[in-house]
Structure formats: structure tokens, C-alpha cells
Amino acid sequence: MSASTKVAATESRRVLPVAIGKAITNAVKASIANDNAMGKAADLLFSLEVQVEWLYAPKKGHDDDILRVADVVTTHREFYDEVELDVVAAFSAAKRKLLDTPTKGMSDSDKREKREVKQATGSKRKDLRNALARRWKRIEDEASTPSRTRDLNTRINEYINGAIKCAQAADPEKDSIAFDVTALVTCLEQARKIANTAV
């Protein structure tokens, strides 16, 4: 018996009341819609070659690290703060007001609610990071799997994008880098431009 048949056969006799069953179905539908919406947002970030690391708060001393988002040059802090504003904008006006209210002088219940809202915004940022990470991983998996359907230009772009991502994620101190990462990324971006310019 298929799942759809089981549903039809149990409409008249259920362990759970029909209203609760419908609530579960609606909740799953909403969850799927939310997942699809998050995936779309991640795809748009990916199209601008946004790296997963950029969606984490900048480490101490790295607020001024230079990032390139499409044709715009910005800092890690500016980019992160802008994404944070976009995430918070999804919440109700009351919750946004609560986040903007200084914690000092709040009642215990308001403090608790503010903490819960902050945790919720952090959870949504994590969902976005995870969706973007899955998008990058899919490209990496495709790049490592030989395919006759991918033309030379596509493969070259994937390799260059991978090299740019690797360079931008590098930590000069931790990875003992002896070259100028910014200069390397600039050269790689120039190489990508050449690879995509018709002759």
C-alpha cells in the first residue's frame, strides 16, 4: 500500500485527530517551502561567488579583511553586518525592536525573549551558511567527477573558482603563506576574465 493510499484509507479512522494530522502536513509543507527559499538565496549568493566563511562573524583583528562581492570591494565586517540586517529583517517589528532595546533595565522575561530571538537569528544565519556550503560542495563534487557533458570552458571556470576560494579562505599565519594572497586572487580573476572573453 502506497503512502498516498494509506492516507486516504485512514482519513476516517486515525490515531491522531484529523486536525493534528493536517497541522503536521502543513508544517512539513512550510518547512519544504522554507528550505527551497533558503536554497534560492544560497544560489544567489553563490552566483556572486560569496564564500561560506564570509557568513561567519570576522575573527578578532580581521574586521578589515578585504572581500570582493562581484564588482564591489568591501570588508568582512561590512559584509557580515549587511547580511545580519537582512536576516533580522525577516522577523516581526516587535522582535526587531526587542533586539534594538538595551538589555540593561529589561525585565527577566524580556531578557529571556531577547535571548531567544538572538538565538533564532543565529539559527537562520546557520541555515543560510549550510545551504551555501551545500552549493559549493555540489560544484566541487562535480568538478572532481569526470564528465563528458562539461565543456572545457566550464571546467576551467570551476578550477579557477576553486583556486580563488582556496586562496581567500587561507590564513596567512596558520597556513604559512609566503605570497601575496590579494595579488594571486587578482591574477586568478584576470585569468577567469580571459577564459570568458571571446576571441
- Residue finishing a domain among 105, 130, 155: 130
pLDDT tens, 43-74?
Answer: 999 988 899 999 999 999 999 999 988 888 99
11 is a domain residue: no
The verdict on 171 and 111 lying in the same domain is no
Helix (H, G, I), strand (E, B) or coil at 24: helix
Helix (H, G, I), strand (E, B) or coil at 37: helix
- Residue finishing a domain among 130, 156, 181: 130
Query: C-alpha cell of 89?
Result: 529583517
The verdict on 120 and 164 lying in the same domain is no
Number of domains in the chain: 2
43 is a domain residue: no
- Residue finishing a domain among 107, 130, 153: 130
The verdict on 89 and 116 lying in the same domain is yes
The verdict on 110 and 163 lying in the same domain is no
The verdict on 191 and 151 lying in the same domain is yes
In terms of Cα–Cα distance, which of 170, 161, 169 is closest to 140? 161
The verdict on 169 and 117 lying in the same domain is no
Mean pLDDT over 135-139 rounds to 87
Q: How far apart are CA 105 and CA 35, in angstroms?
A: 38
pLDDT tens, 3-51?
Answer: 554 554 445 656 888 888 888 889 999 988 888 899 999 999 998 889 9
- Residue 164 CB-density burial (10 A; 0-12 exposed, 13-18 middle, 19+ buried): buried
7 is a domain residue: no
Q: Is residue 138 very low, low, confident or very high in pLDDT (cuts 50, 70, 90)?
A: confident
28 is a domain residue: no
CB neighbourhood size of 54 (10 A) = 20
The verdict on 113 and 181 lying in the same domain is no
The verdict on 55 and 120 lying in the same domain is yes
- 66 has which bridge partners? 75
The verdict on 123 and 149 lying in the same domain is no
pLDDT over threshold 70, residue 147: no
- Angle at 70 (CA atoms; ends 67, 75), nearest 5 degrees: 20
The verdict on 182 and 110 lying in the same domain is no
Query: To the nearest whole percent, how much of the chain has pLDDT over 70?
Result: 85
The verdict on 124 and 65 lying in the same domain is yes
By residue range, what is the domain housing residue 197?
143-199
The verdict on 58 and 122 lying in the same domain is yes
- Look up residue 146 and give its amino acid: P
pTM of the model: 0.62
